[in-house]
Amino acid sequence: SSTQIPKTMKGILVEKTGGTEVLQYKTDLPVPEPKEGEVLVKNDIIGINYIDTYFRTGLYPSPKPEILGKEAAGTVVDSHHTASPSFQPGDRVVWMGSSGYAEYTAAPAAKTMKIPDSISSPDACAAILQGLTALTLTEEAHKVEKGDWVLVLAASGGVGGWLCQILKAKGAHTIATVGSEGKVSVAKESGAEVVLVEGKDNVLEKVKEHTGGAGVAAVFDGVGKDTFDRSLECVARKGTLASFGNASGAVPPFPIAKLSAKNAKVARPSLFNYISTREEYEHYANELFKMMAEDDFKTRIHETYPLKDVARAHNDLEGRKTMGKLLMTP
C-beta closer to ligand NDP: residue 79 or 322: 322
Q: Between residues 77 and 288, which has the closer beta carbon with respect to ligand NDP? A: 288
Min. distance of Cβ 114 from ligand NDP in angstroms? Answer: 23
33 vs 229 by CB, closer to ligand NDP:
229
Q: How far is the CB of 4 from ligand NDP (least distance, A)?
A: 34
What's the closest the beta carbon of residue 169 comes to ligand NDP, in angstroms? 19
SS3 12: strand
Print the SS3 string covering the chain: CCCCCCCEEEEEEECCCCCHHHCEEEEEEECCCCCCCEEEEEEEEEEECHHHHHHHHCCCCCCCCEECCCEEEEEEEEECCCCCCCCCCCCEEEEECCCCCECEEEEEHHHEEECCCCCCHHHHHHHHHHHHHHHHHHHHHCCCCCCCEEEECCCCCHHHHHHHHHHHHCCCEEEEEECCHHHHHHHHHCCCCEEEECCCCCHHHHHHHHCCCCCEEEEEECCCCCCHHHHHHHEEEEEEEEECCCCCCCCCCCCHHHHHHCCCEEECCCHHHCCCCHHHHHHHHHHHHHHHHHCCCCCCEEEEEEHHHHHHHHHHHHCCCCCCEEEEEC
Based on CB atoms, which residue is closest to ligand NDP, 6 or 182? 182
Q: How far is the CB of 180 from ligand NDP (least distance, A)?
A: 6
What is the closest distance, in whole angstroms, from the C-beta atom of residue 305 to ligand NDP in the complex?
14
Q: Which is nearer to ligand NDP, 109 or 317 (CB)?
A: 317
| Rounded least distance, CB 322 to ligand NDP, Å | 6
CB-based contact 104:31 (threshold 8 Å): yes
Q: Are strands 194-197 and 173-178 parallel, antiparallel or unpaired?
A: parallel
Q: How far is the CB of 64 from ligand NDP (least distance, A)?
A: 20
Q: Please say which residue, 9 or 107, places its beta carbon nearer to ligand NDP.
A: 107
Q: Which is nearer to ligand NDP, 43 or 136 (CB)?
A: 136
Cβ proximity to ligand NDP, 144 vs 271, nearer residue? 271
Q: Phi and psi dihedrals of 67, rounded to 5?
A: -95, 120
Bridge partners, 220 (sequence order):
152, 242
Of the pair 240, 322, the CB lying nearest ligand NDP is at 322
- What is the contact surface with ligand NDP in residues (CB under 6 A)? 49-51, 130, 133, 154, 156-160, 178-179, 183, 198, 222-223, 226, 244-248, 269-271, 317-318, 320, 322
CB of 277 to ligand NDP, least distance (A): 16
CB 31: neighbour CB atoms within 10 A?
20
| Nearest distance, CB of residue 245 and ligand NDP, angstroms | 2
